[in-house]
Amino acid sequence: MLQPAREAAAQPLELTLLYTDDDARALTVDIPKQLTVNITNGDLPPAPLTLARDPKVPDRLRLSPGQYRRVRYTAAWPIRRAAPSKSIPWASMSRRCSSR
């Protein structure tokens, strides 16, 4: 038995990165404004999706030893359309052959 399809498009896709400074010195990190990831539902080939960084997060973080910072990225779920159905020549041929 298969589960009914779940609708995820109502909420944006979120990805949270955790930057940590587990060294004895301060750490400065440049944070990208966008991340591009490949997503798939398992039935279709992977497709690229670009997520945008939370606008409240600065371009550069300075972390003290032991400090961490979460950075959230979001994007709207892509709309997938089904491929157009193709005519299968042998299917129409078999119908003609079987009707005597």
pLDDT, tens digit (0-9, with 9 covering 90-100), for 3-48: 555 556 678 889 999 999 998 999 999 999 999 999 887 788 889 9
* Backbone phi and psi for residue 96, each to the nearest 5 degrees, phi listed first: -70, -40
pLDDT confidence of residue 79: 73
What pLDDT is recorded for position 44? Answer: 82
Reported confidence tier of residue 81, pLDDT bands at 50, 70, 90: low
Q: Identify the pLDDT of residue 29.
A: 96
Taking 70 as the threshold, does the pLDDT of residue 66 lie above it? yes
Give the pLDDT band of residue 94 (cuts 50, 70, 90). very low
Taking the model in full, what pTM does it have?
Answer: 0.69
Q: Where are the domains of the chain?
A: 13-79
